[in-house]
Amino acid sequence: MSSPARPHTLSDFDFELPEALIAQHPAPERSASRLLDGRGPAPVDRIFRELPALLAPGDLLVFNDTRVVRARLFGEKASGGRLELLIERVLEGGEVVAHLKVSKKPRPGETVLMAGGAARGGFDATLLARWPDADGPLFRFRLSDPVGRTPWELMQQHGHLPLPPYIAREQQGGADPHAGEDAERYQTVFARNPGAVAAPTAALHFDAGVLAQLAARGVEQASVTLHVGAGTFQPVKTENLAEHRMHSEWYDVPPATLAALERCRQRGGRVVAVGTTTVRTLESWAHSGQATGDTSIFITPGFAFQVVDLLVTNFHLPKSTLMMLVSAFAGYEHVMQLYRHAVARRYRFFSYGDAMLLQRRRS
């Protein structure tokens, strides 16, 4: 297959995906997922628990330690119309930034009743403005609670886990029979810093056994934080990729991880990013010089990677920014070949699906 003309367009990242391959539930064991080894010219089918043997002593594995919060909240307008908030970010003073799903949007200054409203054990939310600017896609609300609960506490008490739109869940008797499974498995074993509305899914495959084997092999481990936003699921709608407006997410590379990256460089080891969110974090730091801040980095073919050498990642949606990132990392033609192989061998796709191991393409 010949490479499409440069620059790439949105259609280049499309592929046929049978709906049956979209995983609706996790594998029985985290490390029992399949692993497509895509480092060489030909793909190799493996099991995820084989990963430690594929890395070398002195390599550095970097995880995203964000924790998914119960950010999906239901309420109604004073007029009775139902609405849904998906909280992306908690600000100071009881303010939050959220996606708003409602038939007719409230006006700035209008208060909506969440979880029954403050008078019925819930809380109120007053719309302040769009965010981050007057044309922004999100909305800034001030939450009001008569007993003084923080936004984090309100989400924990009244919120629901915000599963991706492609994972179908049916309510039975008013309850989700898979809620317990999702609460455990749509969270990494090392999730620590709350703030994400979606899991860093490549890290879902790691369990205590795999982590112990990595340590025994001499693979160092470190973490960053990037609070994954719902924008990760938003499709790219412009054929010209340069016209796409990338969502913004908060990240942090702590001093201990900066020191681990320097040690890895000094000893000649490889930096292995677990997931595209870790790639975006490390490369945002490398390109901006800022260890903490907001990033809207958009990685497409031609991007100059400065930090990451290997990538553990899941299989992504057609035409998504994540498909563009992995194509930039491992080469467009190679990635499309791996995806054709994965479909033919019936790998499981997306958040609860299988994983792949990629090596950075050297120009």
Asked if pLDDT for residue 3 goes beyond 60, the answer is no
Domain assignment of residue 178, yes or no = no
Question: What is the rounded average pLDDT of the residues 274-300?
Answer: 97
* Residues 103, 147 within the same domain: yes
Using a pLDDT cut of 90, give the percent of the chain over it: 88
Angle at 124 between CA 89 and CA 187, to 5 degrees: 40
Answer yes or no: is 179 within a domain: no
pLDDT tens per residue, range 253-277: 999 999 999 999 999 999 999 999 9
Classify residue 164: in a domain, yes or no: no
pLDDT value at residue 323: 96
41 and 94 share one domain: no
The better pLDDT of the pair 6, 224 is held by 224
Provide the CATH number for the domain around residue 293: 3.40.1780.10
The pLDDT confidence band at residue 216, using thresholds 50, 70 and 90, is very high
Q: Are residues 83 and 151 both part of a single domain?
A: yes
Instruction: Count the domains in the chain.
Output: 2
45 plus 148 within the same structural domain: no
Structural domain range at position 94:
72-158
Residue 170 lies in a domain: no
Mean pLDDT of 129-156: 93
Say whether both 255 and 323 belong to one domain: yes
Q: What is the pLDDT of residue 173?
A: 44
Please, what is the average pLDDT of the chain? 94
Same-domain pairing of 292 and 264: yes
Dump strand ranges (E) for the chain. 34-37, 44-47, 60-64, 66-68, 72-77, 82-90, 95-102, 111-114, 123-131, 138-144, 193-196, 220-226, 249-252, 271-274, 292-295, 310-314, 355-359
